[in-house]
Chain A
Amino acid sequence: MYHMSKRKFIAILGVPLLALSLMATPACNHPASTVGAPMVQQSDQIKALQTIHDVAEGLLSVSKAEAQAHDQGLVDAQTHAAFVSARNKAVASLRAANDAALKAGDRATAKQAIQIAADALSGLVKDGTAAIKNPTTKASVLAGIAALQTILEAF
């Protein structure tokens, strides 16, 4: 039976195992490592897209609630038209935010996309809810938008 020397044993098994242990070390456990950077960037992009997605879903719910209030006679036609106009402006801004988030390459650009969405909601509060006279409807719409603003602030 051939007896392998310690040096040859290390050369055959030791070096590959050392390479394995080094290559399998998770890059993300080292925040300062540039190797882990792309993964962090992807997370920010996905997080921004998910946040804007949540806000879009919320705005859809708020819009449905406002339309229902209008159908029930709680919001007059002129006020409803003002809300729809402001809402569509917010939708256009959210679309821009969504496009910006898709292109976001790092946290700073992802944050810029979130800011576009935040500005969209501020505009909706200012232009869309000012004309609502019914206090209950107004409070509901404002509460809905405030909830969406909280989602954005949490980014």
Chain B
Amino acid sequence: MNAQAVLALTTIGAGLVRDIVKQINEHRAAASLPPVTAQELHDSTESILKETENIQ
């Protein structure tokens, strides 16, 4: 096998690794995400506070 062939296979291998790492990181990010976003939690709290203010 010549140097070009080795380089080509290495490049393909590196691309494959990037794809796998990307999938792993995406999976990990999805697993560590909280059930709701910070903004959604904030807005939900604001809604509750407004409801509380309206109790007379």
Contacts and interface: CB of A to CB of B under 8 A. Distances in A.
Interface of A: 2, 4, 8, 11-13, 15-17, 19-20, 23-24, 26, 28, 39, 42-43, 45-46, 49-50, 52-53, 56-57, 59-60, 63-64, 67, 84, 87-88, 91, 94-95, 98-99, 101-102
A81 to B, nearest CB: 10
A50 B41 contact: yes
By DSSP majority rule, is chain B's interface helix, strand, loop, or mixed?
helix
Contacts of B48: 53, 56-57, 60
Contacts, number: 86
Contacts of B44: 53
Interface of B: 1, 6, 9-10, 13-14, 16-17, 20-21, 24, 28, 32, 34, 38-39, 41-42, 44-46, 48-49, 51-53, 55-56
